[in-house]
Amino acid sequence: MSSRIQQLFFLLSVWIYFTFFGKFHLLFTEGTQLFLFTWDYAADTCMQPGGTANYLSRFIVQFFHFPGLGALIIAFMLLALQFLVQKVASEKPREHSGLSYIPSFFYLCLLTDLTKYTITGLVSLLAALLAVLAYKHIRNTGFRALWGFISLPLLWYTMGGTAVFALVILCLKFLPPARKTRSAVLISFFIFLAGYFSLWRIHDTGREDILRCYFSIHKGHWNEVISRARKKMPADVLTINGLNLALAATGQAGDCMFAFPQSPQTLSIFNTGEGLLFSAETLFNLGFINEAQRLSHEYMESAPDRQLNALLLAQMAETNLIAGRTAVAQKYLRLLDKTLFYKKPARMIMPLTHNLQLVSAHPFYGSLRKYQPTGNFSSDFTNLDNMLARMITEHPDNKMAVNYFFLYT
Amino acid sequence: MLHKNSEALHNLFPAVAPVPRHYQELIAWMQTMQPNNLPRYKDVTIDASVKTELNLLLSEIRRGNNSPGFLGPQYAHTIAPLNFMAKDGSPVKALIVGKQSRLVSFRETAVIENTLITNSCVNCHSFAAADQQRFQFHLRGPGRGTLVRSEGELTHIDTIIPGTVSACVYPHWHPSGSHIAYSVNNILQSFQNVPEKVIDVFDTWSDIVIYELKKQAVHIHPVLCDSTVLETFPAFSADGQTLYYTAAPFRNIAHVSVLDNIRYSLYSIPLNPGTNTVAPPAERLYPLSDPAGLSVSFPGPSPDGRSLMFTGSAYGNFTIWHDDADLWLMDLSTGKTEPTAALNSPDTESYHSWSSASKWVVFSSRRDDGRYTRLNLAHMNERGTFNKPFALPQKDPRSDLNLMQSYNLPEFVKGIISFYPQDIFRAKHIKAQEWKH
């Protein structure tokens, strides 16, 4: 395979993978961060060690809002990794052996779970490779030494611990360049084969399905959740939990519940991990607005990097709006107003914060506002049926709560 | 996802929320200080009374320690997310940070960040007579205990003893620095479902103990550990001869509705000079009879011994989650007690702290949006009443509008706290001894 064909083949395969098999990972990664176009945000992020890499990767991740574009960006970044490795290793394109694709395939396998491995490491790695390449191309010995002296601490501060790899990568330049032989073609073939095999083995379809289910219930696409479950029987607790909500929303709880594998956990309110997101959606749609807000907030606060989260910030603006706490809703909407892709919806919602009558008249928020309990009671998630009973006693027209209550009876 | 049906309403109202009046005043004052920094707010006018107060604050700080109206140039507070504890104690990683700030330079530094101590948090800091050299805070999570710095030494104290319901909780230092009064509480949270009420925090059991630093002993006095009474929020008077606290009759809390009937009153009990042991009987100071809808929290005697500020709400004692909580002032010479109208707002006012000359108070309030706690400063005039309060000055006042965290427990101190996180690991470990009276 010529190098151009190899590159095109790699680019296309990465794009296809993320567009069709990792779409919801991309959306989830984008939705669980909040990139603000403000100087304060830039300064706060970049002033931390490794912060520039974080800032750049978060800037890139916001374009994952469009999964096709996000997939293309990742594909080009992985190709850039291959190109830089090739350059650093002094390989001539025509004598291409495919060895330079190993780091790219390795990183591709890591990125199959974007919820655990972000592209920050990839950004850092590219920066480290660029620094090494610059070192390699500086002919003047004095300048080269100076660059080596400056670039490593600079990389450490701006890009984080990946700077250590710059030293390791530097050693690659002492490797002998690969020669064009018949075996080089074979090596390329086997590297691609091993790369795709690893990708196939490491890809977690179940996790993608969970995230797909989350986005469906988040957007209220109930029929989509049910039809997918009918095509492919869900096996994990979270997806069935989301499915139960969809059944309640469409009035099929009583008829179809046991067409799917049920257990006590599938009706649980979760208090850790991504279960918090599913439970926040459940409570939000059932009308327990305070608790939906609390779980959203807890998910956001328990994120490892404690980033704000666009999806949940939007939901917290909505819950505050429904509960009548307009000043808090304005606070969250002001933050969303500083983003690229949440600015428009935030500006659409902002007018509601000036007049609660508009919230009450709203087709979606209005009904949830109407279902707010008037008699106080404490939450008890181990007995959600008791909470539901109180809700439907006070608001028998809350069909979602009535149908969800059927699941318990 | 933000709902699409709102699009039709988009043009009815301006899309950008106005800056609250409370902040407009501060922004305008900031422009007079740094005219080049905030060009976007040139059209904002300043309230004359607020301008006077802010300039007074500035001049007092600049005059320094010798001024009779001296205000400690530092304050310390913790800053925490909105909800910081899951109901079941699940591992929600709380970001709780002790910070100190210079009121004029706006330079804010973290005393200790919990990110440096994995899965732990710090809270309930307290200073002896606003002395930055003598302070304590609690560490929760792994390596839990009470960190006390006194006489230049940091000690890590395990205050769990058999005779109390919990480790030491709400602290107050004796002005001499020899003793720290603590409440010991069994604290629960209850999450509520009506729009106007989100959370209630309450004690199912509480007592008061006094820790003596020299003897490393927790003194248990029967009068402060009555099983029929919930005693909490101890506070020593400025002369060190009296201990103030709040107490309510014990109630078995089986349902959230019981909480509405738990009302705390303010008590005082004399102390024996030298030993600081209590000398019963305790005296009920306010309200003198069972109140209709007033519960007392956070008694704060002023350093000049003339006044006592407390937080009053309809019930309970965790007032930061009570919309009706207001600050009250008691004249200790006459007993006259009334709400501090100038400081209160329709929303929550809760924790408060006096400056060392009793001329200023810093207090927490949720007047901006009803949810996020912010700090406010107010000056006491010659008539003994408070002038109009103002938000804590910041380099860019808008930063508090966007801050996604709440301030907590503001305290004036006289100087910069010098503390390194690694000091915690070098601290001398002590197991407190029980000392029954």
**pLDDT, tens only, A237-290:** 999 999 999 999 998 888 888 888 888 888 888 888 889 999 999 999 999 999
Average pLDDT, chain A: 89
Residue A196 C-alpha from the chain's centroid: 23
From CA A58, how far away is CA A354, in angstroms rounded? 32
Residues A181 and A269 in one domain: no
What residues contact B166, with CB distance under 8 A and at least 6 apart? B160, B184, B185, B186, B187
B339, B368, B401: which is the final residue of a domain?
B339
Give the pLDDT confidence score for residue B337 in this predicted structure: 93
Yes or no, beta carbons of B2 and A318 under 8 Å apart: yes
Say yes or no to pLDDT of B325 above 90.
Answer: yes
Residues B62 and B90 in one domain: yes
Residues A170 and A114 in one domain: yes
Say yes or no to pLDDT of A118 above 90.
Answer: no
Closest by CA to B84, choosing from B93, B71, B76, B97, is B93
C-alpha to C-alpha distances, B215 to B131, B430, B431, nearest whole angstrom: 22, 11, 11
Yes or no, beta carbons of A364 and B7 under 8 Å apart: no
Q: Which residue has the higher pLDDT, A348 or B400?
A: A348
Give the pLDDT confidence score for residue B77 in this predicted structure: 59
From CA B388, how far away is CA B382, in angstroms rounded? 14
State the average pLDDT over residues A327-331: 92
Average pLDDT, chain B: 79
Say yes or no to pLDDT of B94 above 50.
Answer: no
Residues B213 and B103 in one domain: no
Yes or no, beta carbons of B93 and A365 under 8 Å apart: no
- The CB-side HSE value for A395 (13 A sphere, CA atoms) comes to 22
> Sheet harboring B374-379: ordered strands across?
B349-354, B360-365, B374-379, B390-391
> Which tokens sit at B7?
């699009």
Residues B186 and B306 in one domain: yes
Among candidates A302, A320, A345 on the partner chain, residue whose Cβ is nearest the Cβ of B2: A345
Is B346 part of the contact surface with chain A (CB cutoff 8 Å)? Answer: no
Among candidates B1, B83, B190 on the partner chain, residue whose Cβ is nearest the Cβ of A378: B190
Residues B331 and B352 in one domain: no
- DSSP bridge partners of A407: none
Residues A174 and A124 in one domain: yes
Residues A198 and A211 in one domain: no
Say yes or no to pLDDT of B312 above 80.
Answer: yes
Residues A32 and A177 in one domain: yes
Residues B303 and B185 in one domain: yes
Query: Is B76 contained in some domain?
Result: yes
Say yes or no to pLDDT of A231 above 60.
Answer: yes
Residue B9 has what DSSP assignment? Answer: G
Residues B228 and B328 in one domain: yes
Least confident range from A39-53, B87-101, B128-142: namely: B87-101
Give the pLDDT confidence score for residue B387 in this predicted structure: 85
B313, B339, B365: which is the final residue of a domain?
B339
Please, are residues A29 and A114 in contact by the beta-carbon 8 Å criterion? yes
From CA A311, how far away is CA B2, in angstroms rounded? 9
Residues B205 and B126 in one domain: no
Residues A251 and A103 in one domain: no
Please, are residues B435 and B217 in contact by the beta-carbon 8 Å criterion? yes
Say yes or no to pLDDT of B96 above 70.
Answer: no
Residues A72 and A218 in one domain: no
Query: Is B410 contained in some domain?
Result: yes
B420: region left, alpha or beta (phi > 0 left; psi from -120 to 50 alpha): beta
B319, B339, B359: which is the final residue of a domain?
B339
A:343-362 residues touching chain B, CB 8 A cutoff: 345-355, 358, 362
Closest by CA to A71, choosing from A118, A31, A32, A25, is A25
Residue A124 C-alpha from the chain's centroid: 19
Residues A7 and A18 in one domain: yes
Q: Strands, DSSP E only, in B87-169?
A: 97-102, 108-113, 121-128, 131-140, 145-150, 153-158
Q: Where are the alpha helices (DSSP H) in A250-288?
A: 253-256, 275-286
Residues B263 and B243 in one domain: yes
Condensed to tens digits (0 to 9), the pLDDT of residues B268-284 reads 999 998 888 899 899 99
State the average pLDDT over residues B260-275: 91
Give the pLDDT confidence score for residue B101 in this predicted structure: 63
Query: Is B166 contained in some domain?
Result: no
From CA A72, how far away is CA A84, in angstroms rounded? 18
From CA B356, how far away is CA A6, in angstroms rounded? 74
Confidence of residue B251 (pLDDT cuts 50, 70, 90): confident
Q: Which residue of B has its CA nearest to A295?
A: B86
Strands B360-365 and B349-354: antiparallel
What residues contact A173, with CB distance under 8 A and at least 6 apart? A88, A89, A90, A132, A136
Give the pLDDT confidence score for residue B88 in this predicted structure: 34
Asked if residue B171 has a cis previous peptide bond (ω within 30° of 0), the answer is no
Looking at the complex, report in whole angstroms how far the Cα of residue B36 sits from the nearest Cα belonging to chain A. 16
Residues A211 and A193 in one domain: no
Strands B199-212 and B217-220: antiparallel
Share of chain B above pLDDT 70, in %: 73
Give the pLDDT confidence score for residue B60 in this predicted structure: 59
Among candidates B90, B192, B257 on the partner chain, residue whose Cβ is nearest the Cβ of A272: B90
Q: Complex ipTM, two decimals? A: 0.84
Residues B203 and B276 in one domain: yes
Please, are residues A322 and A360 in contact by the beta-carbon 8 Å criterion? no
Domain that holds residue B286: 179-339
A170, A188, A203: which is the final residue of a domain?
A203
Yes or no, beta carbons of B192 and A290 under 8 Å apart: yes
Residues A53 and A186 in one domain: yes
Condensed to tens digits (0 to 9), the pLDDT of residues A355-372 reads 888 899 888 899 999 999
Say yes or no to pLDDT of A123 above 60.
Answer: yes
Token pair 């694709």: residue = A101
Residues B335 and B351 in one domain: no
Say yes or no to pLDDT of B261 above 90.
Answer: no
Condensed to tens digits (0 to 9), the pLDDT of residues A173-213 reads 665 655 555 677 788 888 889 999 999 998 889 999 999 99
What residues contact B398, with CB distance under 8 A and at least 6 apart? B19, B23, B27
Number of folded domains that form chain A:
2
Give the pLDDT confidence score for residue A177 in this predicted structure: 58
Q: Which residue of B has its CA nearest to A329?
A: B369
Say yes or no to pLDDT of B326 above 90.
Answer: yes
Among candidates A306, A350, A362 on the partner chain, residue whose Cβ is nearest the Cβ of B15: A350
A203, A227, A257: which is the final residue of a domain?
A203
B:184-223 residues touching chain A, CB 8 A cutoff: 190-195, 197-198, 200
Residues B141 and B290 in one domain: no
From CA A6, how far away is CA A292, in angstroms rounded? 49
Give the pLDDT confidence score for residue A295 in this predicted structure: 93
The residue type found at A205 is T
Query: Is B42 contained in some domain?
Result: no
Number of folded domains that form chain B:
2
Give the pLDDT confidence score for residue A336 in this predicted structure: 93
Q: Strands, DSSP E only, in B14-68?
A: none
Share of chain A above pLDDT 90, in %: 56
Query: Is B271 contained in some domain?
Result: yes
Give the pLDDT confidence score for residue A180 in this predicted structure: 56
Condensed to tens digits (0 to 9), the pLDDT of residues B161-181 reads 998 999 999 999 999 999 999
Residues B65 and B139 in one domain: yes
Query: Is B2 contained in some domain?
Result: no
Condensed to tens digits (0 to 9), the pLDDT of residues B4-40 reads 334 433 333 333 444 444 445 555 554 454 444 433 4
Is A305 part of the contact surface with chain B (CB cutoff 8 Å)? Answer: no
Confidence of residue B415 (pLDDT cuts 50, 70, 90): confident
Query: Is B435 contained in some domain?
Result: no
Confidence of residue B95 (pLDDT cuts 50, 70, 90): very low
State the average pLDDT over residues A15-20: 96
Give the pLDDT confidence score for residue B344 in this predicted structure: 94
Give the pLDDT confidence score for residue A173 in this predicted structure: 61
Say yes or no to pLDDT of B103 above 80.
Answer: no
> Which tokens sit at B296?
């007392």
Q: Which residue of A has its CA nearest to B405?
A: A301
A203, A221, A250: which is the final residue of a domain?
A203
Domain that holds residue A255: 206-408
Give the pLDDT confidence score for residue B43 in this predicted structure: 44
Looking at the complex, report in whole angstroms how far the Cα of residue A199 sits from the nearest Cα belonging to chain B. 32
- DSSP bridge partners of B138: B123, B146
Give the pLDDT confidence score for residue B293 in this predicted structure: 72
Residues of A with Cβ-Cβ distance to B15 under 8 angstroms: 337, 347, 350-351
Residues A242 and A308 in one domain: yes
From CA A249, how far away is CA A398, in angstroms rounded? 10
From CA B180, how far away is CA B124, in angstroms rounded? 13
Residues A127 and A20 in one domain: yes
